[in-house]
Structure 1
Amino acid sequence: MRAEPFLKSSLLLLALLLAPGLALAVGKCERLVATGNPEYPPYLWRDPQNPQKLIGANAELLQRIGQDIGVEIEVIHSGPWSRAQDEVRTGRIDLLAGAFLTLPRLESMDYVHPAFYVTPSVVWVRKGKEFPYLGWDDLRGKLGGTLVGNSFGQQFDAFAKANLTLENVPSLTQAFQKLLLGRTEYVLYERYPGVALVDSLGLQEDLQALEPPISSEGLFLTLSHSSACNDPWLRGQLAKKMTELTASGLPETLLQSNLQRWKAQQLQAVSPPPSE
């Protein structure tokens, strides 16, 4: 008889824990780790004060989402863009802080809708070495460069695989260096991060972007299928907050403020030290 109250209370506790809302709360992760392309200003770049951390518009947006849903989101540097994708694909890192939608990524990641930016990708060339360009077909027969693991949308990726000759390198700096040395004839990369790097390297008189863009793709937050934190509650909360914040215009505000932040950091980096 003495065991009966204990048994009843245990069964009640078990029933409560199995209630849908409480079960989700009990299993909720309190911390997520995100990564992304470290050469992607004003979206993402390495923090000069803490190189193991990524800062930028995407990082600030994720941190705001984390605050709103009660989950700490840390955005770290995990290596070049190709390695960052591998870290998320395998589940060693939970989130990819900005990626275009592609079929291969869909096999290993859940995309959080809606996209928080639409970013154009363009053809970068040396000034004085431009070629007639009106669209994709004008890239045929020329040697181009891009980053390992980079994508420009499913449609262009399929065209490039079938028709273009592209050399893949780990970083945009390296891709631009090969272009300047004449080892490639063009580089494919997003316009705004490309402009930011061209400005920081002082190459405004050497490189330019051709029009029109090869693509304009939505930039999404993705969640690894292999993340231990990937559950219906988290996916729902991320989508809900992303919908609210994009509707409020916050991503564009963060983009503009981080563009100024990046420019200020570059000016500070090249400024001479104060005289004593």
Structure 2
Amino acid sequence: MIRRKATAPRITKNLIGLTTLLLMSMGGKAFAQPSECMSLTATGNPEYPPFLWQSESGHHLEGAVSHLLQRLSEKIHVPISMKYVGPWSRSQQEVRSGRVDLMAGAFYTSERADYMEYFSPAMLFTKSVVWQANDHKFPYHQREDLVGRWGVTVINNSFGQTFDEYARDNLNLLKVASLDQAFNMLIAGRADYVLYERGPGAAYADHLGLAEKVVAMEPAISSEGLFLAISKQSPCNTEAFKTILATALSELVEDGAPQQAMLNGMMDWANTKR
């Protein structure tokens, strides 16, 4: 997977980055366990393989992002528990309230930045696409081809700030509770298209037995970074601890840990009995 820098200038001030001064001030103690934060909880989108999905036990999240956060946990010497708290919309509510500390994998939007702070760089990247039913496709070459048609996506899903604003102003989008429901509406002819990420969409289509019935169209509507973020209401949201997290995450990205995490997540999903 190709990594790239998040370049949108308007989000820079909302990303928790690193400076030489901060790194020097750590004096080799960057990953000492902070007394104010002995453990962390994290959640994310449970319909997002190979990035994340609900464990067989039903209580935790597994996948590439979970593997990466395990590496992060080991690096900062603070346990991070990947919790399943419900659908994607509920995950966002739990982080907003501070009942869960970390959002493990989210696109940047100004609305989300109101209740959580993003860490830079992005952990991983993914493309969002237009999904159509194989037996009733329509010509699609650009986002304007969606105007006047009926689409469906998952509640509180985002495709990045730019496309979200375009969709709000120009598209007819119905929002449903799950990707399962969205794909079944598409197959039944109750929607013209589904908006969702390519990799997770393909994984779920295969899981639902719909791989031959739906198709991801080109070009992608967006390509966005998946960021780690911390709730503004979390008791662990202190400047000292955020610097520790930012430092450790940056080093993991530089070491190629996200690519290895993706390989592990893909193997785990392929071996999962469903």
Does TM, scored on the shorter chain, surpass 0.5?
yes
Establish whether residue 72 from structure 1 lines up as the match of residue 117 from structure 2.
Answer: no
Decide which moves more: 140-149 or 245-254: 245-254
**Structure 2 unmatched runs, 5+:** 1-28
Q: Partner of 1:167: helix, strand, or coil? A: strand
- Residue deviations 1:168-213, cap 9 Å, x none? 0111011101111111110000000001111111212100000010
- In the alignment, the residues of structure 2 paired with residue 25 and residue 86 of structure 1 have an alpha-carbon distance, to the nearest angstrom, of 28
Q: Partner of 1:85: helix, strand, or coil? A: helix
Q: 2:112 aligns with which of 99, 105, 110?
A: 105
The residue aligned with 2:271 is 264
The residue aligned with 2:152 is 145
**Alpha carbons of structure 1 residues 62 and 194: separation in structure 2 relative to 1, 3 Å:** same
- In the alignment, the residues of structure 1 paired with residue 44 and residue 190 of structure 2 have an alpha-carbon distance, to the nearest angstrom, of 28
Q: How does 1:1-276 map to 2 (within 5 A)?
A: 27-48=35-56, 50-265=57-272, 268-269=273-274
The number of residue pairs the alignment matches comes to 244
- In the alignment, the residues of structure 1 paired with residue 211 and residue 257 of structure 2 have an alpha-carbon distance, to the nearest angstrom, of 30
- In the alignment, the residues of structure 2 paired with residue 26 and residue 134 of structure 1 have an alpha-carbon distance, to the nearest angstrom, of 51
- Residue deviations 1:44-77, cap 9 Å, x none? 00111x2111111111111211111011000000
**Alpha carbons of structure 1 residues 133 and 51: separation in structure 2 relative to 1, 3 Å:** same
Decide which moves more: 242-251 or 151-160: 242-251
The Cα of 1:27 is off from its aligned counterpart by 3.7
Q: Partner of 2:123: helix, strand, or coil? A: strand
- In the alignment, the residues of structure 2 paired with residue 139 and residue 102 of structure 1 have an alpha-carbon distance, to the nearest angstrom, of 22
- In the alignment, the residues of structure 1 paired with residue 259 and residue 150 of structure 2 have an alpha-carbon distance, to the nearest angstrom, of 35
- In the alignment, the residues of structure 2 paired with residue 204 and residue 25 of structure 1 have an alpha-carbon distance, to the nearest angstrom, of 46
Q: Partner of 2:50: helix, strand, or coil? A: coil
The Cα of 1:26 is off from its aligned counterpart by 6.2
The Cα of 1:260 is off from its aligned counterpart by 1.8
Q: Partner of 1:222: helix, strand, or coil? A: strand
Decide which moves more: 247-256 or 220-229: 247-256
The Cα of 1:164 is off from its aligned counterpart by 0.2
- In the alignment, the residues of structure 1 paired with residue 267 and residue 157 of structure 2 have an alpha-carbon distance, to the nearest angstrom, of 26
- In the alignment, the residues of structure 2 paired with residue 97 and residue 113 of structure 1 have an alpha-carbon distance, to the nearest angstrom, of 13
More relative contact order, 1 or 2 (CA 8 Å, 6+ apart): 2
Following TM superposition, the consecutive aligned residue runs of length 4 or more in structure 1 with deviations greater than 6 angstroms are: none
- In the alignment, the residues of structure 2 paired with residue 134 and residue 239 of structure 1 have an alpha-carbon distance, to the nearest angstrom, of 39
- In the alignment, the residues of structure 2 paired with residue 168 and residue 226 of structure 1 have an alpha-carbon distance, to the nearest angstrom, of 27
- In the alignment, the residues of structure 1 paired with residue 266 and residue 49 of structure 2 have an alpha-carbon distance, to the nearest angstrom, of 7
Q: Partner amino acid for 2:228?
A: L
When the two chains are superposed, the root-mean-square deviation of aligned CA atoms in Å is 1.3
The Cα of 1:79 is off from its aligned counterpart by 0.5
- In the alignment, the residues of structure 2 paired with residue 25 and residue 259 of structure 1 have an alpha-carbon distance, to the nearest angstrom, of 31
- In the alignment, the residues of structure 1 paired with residue 254 and residue 247 of structure 2 have an alpha-carbon distance, to the nearest angstrom, of 11
Scaled by the length of structure 1, the TM-score of the pair is: 0.86
The Cα of 1:25 is off from its aligned counterpart by 6.4
Q: Percent identity?
A: 47
